[in-house]
C-alpha cells in the first residue's frame, strides 16, 4: 500500500494539471455564482425579485450544483486521455525507465498505479473539490437571494444521499472505463513512437472502413457507447430540469453484462501491458 501511495503521489507531482485545472474550474464556478447572486440580491434582475419565484426554483438551483462535478469530470477525462497515451511511453522515451527499474518497484505496481490514477484518484479529486465548491455555492445562493433551497421531498438528507451516489459512481464507472484505460496503457508501453496516433487512428480506420465497405456504423456505435457511458447526458438533463440527483444511482450498472465483459478484457490487456514493460526498456 505504501508503494502504491508513493507511485500515485509521483503521478500527481509530475502532472500538476490533475490538481490545478479542476481547482481553477471550481473557483470560476464559485466566482460566477457570487457575482450572479450579488446581482439577484440587489434586485437587478426584476424577473427574480419575487420570493415565491425563488422558492419555486430552489430545487432547480440545487440540481444545477450536480452539473459542476459532471462537467469538470468530462474535461478531466480529456486530460486523462492524453496522460494515458504518454504515461508509459514517456518512461521509455527519456529512458527514465532504467531508473524506475532500479528501484524496488515492480512493473505491475507501476502499470496499476497509472490505472488507479486515471480511474480513481483523479475522479476523487474532482469530486472533493466540486463538493466543497457546491457547499459554498449553496451558501452564496441562500445568503444573496433568500431562496429556500431544500423544500418538499428533497431535503438536506436527500442532497447528501445524491452526493453519496455520485461518489459511488466513481467506482462503478471505473469498472466501465477500465478496458479503455488498459488499452491505452498497452499501446503506450508497446508502440515505438507516437502513441496518441496509435490510439486514435486504428479505431477511426475501423469505423470509416466499415462504413465504406459495409455501409454500417456498428463499430462506431460500440466505441461511442463505451466512451460516453451507459447514461450519456441523462444526469445533466435531470439536473437542469430541477430533479436533483435523479438518475445518479450507479448500482443498476453492476448488472450490465457489458460492464463485466469490459472488466475481463481490461484484466487481459493490463496483464499483457505488464509483461511487455517487464521485458522492454528501449526508447
State the cell numbers at 127: 469530486
Cα–Cα distance measured from residue 80 to residue 72, given in angstroms and rounded to the nearest whole number: 12
pLDDT top residue among 41 and 208: 208
Lowest mean pLDDT among 32-41, 49-58, 118-127, 217-226: 49-58
Lowest mean pLDDT among 121-135, 150-164, 264-278: 150-164
Mean pLDDT of 138-164: 71
Q: How confident is the model at residue 154 (pLDDT cuts 50, 70, 90)?
A: low
In this prediction, residue 1 carries a pLDDT of 74
Q: How confident is the model at residue 97 (pLDDT cuts 50, 70, 90)?
A: low
What whole-number percentage of the chain has pLDDT above 90?
Answer: 29
Buried b (16+ CB within 10 A) or exposed e, 160-198: eebbebbbebbebbbbbbbbbbbbbbbbbbbbeeebbeb
CA atoms within 13 A on the CB side of 251: 4
Asked if pLDDT for residue 259 goes beyond 80, the answer is: yes
In this prediction, residue 114 carries a pLDDT of 93
Q: What is the pTM (predicted TM-score) of this model?
A: 0.81
CA torsion, ordered 17, 23, 28, 29, to nearest 10 deg? 120
pLDDT top residue among 182 and 57: 182
Mean pLDDT of 130-148: 78
Lowest mean pLDDT among 3-7, 141-145, 167-171: 141-145
In this prediction, residue 261 carries a pLDDT of 93
CB atoms within 10 A of CB 151: 13
Mean pLDDT of the chain: 79
Q: Please name which of 230, 224, 228, 189 lies closest in space to residue 206, comparing C-alpha atoms.
A: 224
Give the model confidence (pLDDT) of 175-228 as tens digits.
999 999 999 999 999 888 888 999 999 999 999 999 899 888 999 888 888 888
Q: How confident is the model at residue 84 (pLDDT cuts 50, 70, 90)?
A: very high
Residues in the chain: 283
CB 280 within 8 A of CB 193: no
Asked if pLDDT for residue 75 goes beyond 60, the answer is: yes
Amino acid at each position: 500500500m505504501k508503494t502504491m501511495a508513493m507511485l500515485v503521489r509521483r503521478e500527481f507531482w509530475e502532472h500538476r494539471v490533475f490538481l490545478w485545472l479542476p481547482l481553477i474550474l471550481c473557483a470560476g464556478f464559485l466566482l460566477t455564482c457570487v457575482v450572479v447572486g450579488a446581482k439577484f440580491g440587489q434586485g437587478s434582475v426584476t424577473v427574480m425579485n419575487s420570493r415565491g419565484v425563488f422558492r419555486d426554483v430552489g430545487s432547480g438551483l440545487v440540481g444545477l450544483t450536480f452539473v459542476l462535478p459532471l462537467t469538470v469530470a468530462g474535461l478531466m477525462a480529456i486530460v486523462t486521455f492524453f496522460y494515458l497515451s504518454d504515461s508509459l511511453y514517456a518512461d521509455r522515451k527519456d529512458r527514465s525507465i532504467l531508473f524506475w527499474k532500479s528501484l524496488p518497484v515492480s512493473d505491475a505496481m507501476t502499470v496499476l498505479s497509472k490505472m488507479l490514477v486515471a480511474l480513481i484518484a483523479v475522479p476523487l479529486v474532482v469530486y472533493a473539490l466540486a463538493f466543497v465548491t457546491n457547499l459554498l455555492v449553496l451558501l452564496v445562493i441562500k445568503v444573496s437571494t433568500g431562496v429556500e433551497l431544500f423544500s418538499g421531498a428533497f431535503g438536506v438528507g436527500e442532497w447528501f444521499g445524491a452526493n453519496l451516489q455520485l461518489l459511488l459512481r466513481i467506482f462503478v464507472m471505473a469498472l466501465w472505463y477500465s478496458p479503455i484505460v488498459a488499452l491505452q496503457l498497452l499501446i503506450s508501453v508497446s508502440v515505438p513512437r507516437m502513441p496518441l496516433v496509435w490510439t486514435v487512428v486504428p479505431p477511426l480506420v475501423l469505423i470509416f472502413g466499415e462504413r465504406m465497405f459495409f455501409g454500417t456504423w456498428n463499430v462506431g456505435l460500440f466505441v461511442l457507447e463505451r466512451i460516453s457511458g451507459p447514461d450519456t447526458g441523462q444526469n445533466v438533463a435531470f439536473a437542469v430540469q430541477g430533479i436533483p440527483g435523479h438518475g445518479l444511482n450507479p448500482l443498476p450498472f453492476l448488472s450490465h453484462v457489458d460492464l463485466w465483459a469490459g472488466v475481463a478484457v481490461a484484466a487481459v490487456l493490463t496483464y499483457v501491458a505488464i509483461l511487455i514493460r517487464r521485458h522492454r526498456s528501449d526508447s
